[in-house]
Each structure stands twice: as structure tokens, then as C-alpha cells.
Structure 1
């Protein structure tokens, strides 16, 4: 199993579990720490964070939308420039969550790379 796939699955699983008990922003430290630990490249970590959190949010938002027959998402979508389309709001929610997860994972990999390069510079 590749490192990016493992990172994606861990972010999806642990991010979804964390959101059951913690606030919505708990996805940020989860993606950051996992990418710091497992991430190797920035692009792969960003995609793993984006897909992991985005799919988690898409699943949860779709499930909640189906459970209440789309009434709440329709009302919120009317307040935003979405034309009252509740499913478009679900998609926008997933993209926003994915961006937060992807940026957090990217920051984790970048911190790891910065620390590794500073260690290499100190060793010289």
C-alpha cells in the first residue's frame, strides 16, 4: 500500500471519528499530524487531505440531507447564491472541508521538510 493511500485512509477514518466528538476544526490537527508523520511530498499530502476530509464531509452532509428530506439544506441554499439547490450546498460543503484538510496536510509535510532540511544544515 502506498504512503499516499495510507495517509488518505487514515485522514478519512480519524477525521471522521474526531468530528463525532470534537468541533468541526478538529480535522485540521488530524490532517496536519498525520501528514507530518506519513507525508513525503506536498502534492500527495494535499490530495490525501483534500480527498480524505472532503469525502468524509460529503458523506456526512449527504446523509444529513437525505435524513431531513433536504429541507434544511434547501433553506440555507436560499440564503446563499446557490438558487435554493440543497445538493449544491452539500457539494460546496465537501469542497470547503477538503480545502481545509488539504491545506492542513500540506502544512504538515512542509513543516517536516523544513525540520529535516534544518537538521541537514546543522549537521554540516
Structure 2
């Protein structure tokens, strides 16, 4: 649970000042440092980065009254701006899941006693 909050908070802060891919860094580091199973790394990375991206996108959606989300929904040809928020969660979550899994597998490559399952 602590690893989820660390990934969430660091992703939130880094995405305020750095490019979109900055969420990879905390997920990779926490995956290599704190997590002990591949499945945990995948799920915690997915939920941590995905939640941070979703909440930031929802905040932007609320603050500009959905104008940006409606335009993006039109551009992506999805029906509603809520679908844009779901897509944002999934894309961010997959990015975080791959990063945390890569971090764990990087650690497992150097420690043969760790298993990937």
C-alpha cells in the first residue's frame, strides 16, 4: 500500500513540472526497490500511475467545464468526454504497469532467488 501512495504522489508531482513520461521514473524505481512479486509490481504500477493521471485529467475537466475533454473526445471520435478520462486512466496505467514490472524484473535479473511470479 505504501508503494502505491509513493508512486501516486511522485507521479502527480513530476507530471506537474516534467513531460508526460515522467510517471515512468517513480514506477520503475519503486518496482525495483520495494516490490517483491511481478504481479504486485504490475498492479501497483497500473493503479498508481493510472489514478494520478485520471485525477489530474478530471481536475482539468472540471476546471475548464469540459471544454478540452469535449474537443479531445471529438478528435478521438469517442462519444463522451468521460470516455476520454477512462482512456487517460488506461494509458497512464499501462505505462505505469510496464515501468514497475520492468523495475522488478531488472532487480530479479540480478537476484536469482527472486521469482517472477
What is the aligned partner in structure 1 of residue 58 from structure 2? 62
The 5 A counterparts of 1:1-124 are 5-83=1-79, 85-117=80-112
CA contact (8 A) 1:49 1:105 kept: yes
Larger Rg: 1
Mark the runs of 5 or more structure 1 residues left unpaired by the alignment: none
- Give me the TM-score of the superposition, normalised by structure 2: 0.92
Separation in 2 of the partners of 1:33 and 1:115? 15
CA contact (8 A) 1:36 1:109 kept: yes
SS at match of 1:98: helix
Root mean square deviation, CA, Å: 1.1
Higher share of residues assigned helix:
1
Separation in 2 of the partners of 1:28 and 1:72? 25
CA contact (8 A) 1:9 1:52 kept: yes
CA contact (8 A) 1:15 1:27 kept: yes
Separation in 2 of the partners of 1:20 and 1:68? 17
Separation in 1 of the partners of 2:76 and 2:23? 25
Separation in 2 of the partners of 1:16 and 1:51? 13
Separation in 2 of the partners of 1:57 and 1:77? 17
